[in-house]
Amino acid sequence: MGGHQGGETASRLAVETIESSFSRNTTLPITERIRSAINDASAAIFDAAQTSPALKGMGTTCVMLVTDKPAGRLWIAHVGDSRCYRLTPKGDFQRMTKDHSRVQEMVDAGWITPDDAAQSEVKNVITRALGIERTAQADVSGPLSFANGDRFLLCSDGLTDMLSDVDIASILGRVDKPQEAAEELVNLANLRGGHDNITVCIAAFGKRKPVYPKTFIEEHGGLADTKVERTRLGRMWQYGQYAVFSMLFCAILLALVYLFKPKILPVPLRTVFENISKLLLRRTCGEPLTAHDSYSVIKGVGTASDAPEPSTVTNGLGDALAAPSSTNQPASSTNVFATELFIPDNTNKP
């Protein structure tokens, strides 16, 4: 209120004063801290308006959200026609504030309907604001509980004059990231005229995306094509598909190496693939694996053609463990690794 310069100054003073006053009065109850901060802001705006003719008559509306996250509680305060909305994970969309405006009084009295109020010529006439007097009468609600997945939208009338509640609910539910949702709301309001300043702030609680019911998705068209309504079971099924496709790819790759023995692979690596393929085929057919089988895989990565046979040791539990012998190893052997690989051998074969 008060033109571009006055409105910008009043809004800035309100935000700065409320923040500093609320942080300073830590000994007061939450409700009293909120009312005190809003009154301090109204006084700061009123006093600043008296210092310059260009700022005379300036003021601003206000909406405020205070959260106590450890206790899961919050408070909402507002002056004027700036609003607060709430969207729950179940899809319940609710306006948390009632405008301090002339048309809202007419709706409460039963003179006009809410649809008529949206088209009224006096819809922008407000009955309360910060800066009109040194004190302001704020409506404070709380403490209210909130749940994981809840989203709260704070906005000025520049948004609600251009968008309906259905439009706001659709974007708030469809767009996952709060910053992107706020930008899309402002852009849409500007596309539809944007004749007033548009302020949007979104507070999203919890890391998990809200999961909305089918009825809400149908009512606010388009949500079915987004990630918002995916359930945990759907995500598990998607991860399971990735795992199955990965295993199939590995199996096909091993089969190709075993059948065609491509020349592009180095000889040691090709030998390892072939040995692994043979072991998998034997295991699939139900044949037991021996220590010598495991050693044949290791042998493929060395350069010595006469690598020693494995020796047999016991792990103390009666299971035979195979390890390459360290005796009589040629001095010319190089690049032999995995020499301490042990696997159980229940057949007691060398």
Same domain assignment for residues 44 and 184? yes
Same domain assignment for residues 208 and 118? yes
- CA separation for the pair 304, 161 (Å, rounded): 82
Domain assignment present for 255 = no
Contacts of 244 (CB under 8 A, 6+ apart): none
At residue 208's C-alpha, the angle toward residues 206 and 211, to 5°, is 115
Judged by phi (left if over 0) then psi (alpha if -120 to 50, else beta), residue 318 lies in left
- 214-272 tens-digit pLDDT: 555 555 554 444 444 445 556 667 778 888 888 888 888 777 766 666 555 555 665 66
- The answer on pLDDT for 321 being more than 50 is no
Domain assignment present for 253 = no
What residue numbers bound the domain in which 277 lies?
Answer: 261-345
Domain assignment present for 314 = yes
Phi, psi at 294, each rounded to 5°:
-65, -35
Same domain assignment for residues 146 and 214? yes
Q: Do residues 184 and 202 lie in contact, with contact meaning Cβ atoms separated by under 8 Å?
A: no
Domain assignment present for 239 = no
Same domain assignment for residues 67 and 127? yes
| pLDDT range class, residue 343, cuts 50, 70, 90 | very low
Same domain assignment for residues 90 and 226? yes
- The answer on pLDDT for 340 being more than 50 is no
DSSP letter for 53, please: G
Same domain assignment for residues 152 and 33? yes
- 131-156 tens-digit pLDDT: 889 898 899 998 998 888 889 999 99
The pTM of this model reads 0.58
- CA separation for the pair 277, 281 (Å, rounded): 6
Provide the b/e sequence for 223-238 (b: ≥16 CB within 10 Å). Answer: beeeebbeeeeeeeee
Nearest CA to 162 out of 128, 184, 185 is that of 185
Domain assignment present for 243 = no
Phi, psi at 61, each rounded to 5°:
-85, 170
Tokens matching residue 100: 């301090």
- 56-95 tens-digit pLDDT: 888 999 999 999 888 889 999 999 999 999 998 888 889 9
Work out how many domains the chain is built from and give that number. Answer: 2
Percent of the chain with pLDDT over 90: 24
Domain assignment present for 131 = yes
Same domain assignment for residues 197 and 317? no
Q: Is 84 helix (H, G, I), strand (E, B) or coil?
A: strand
Same domain assignment for residues 293 and 226? no
Same domain assignment for residues 178 and 266? no
- CA separation for the pair 248, 206 (Å, rounded): 37
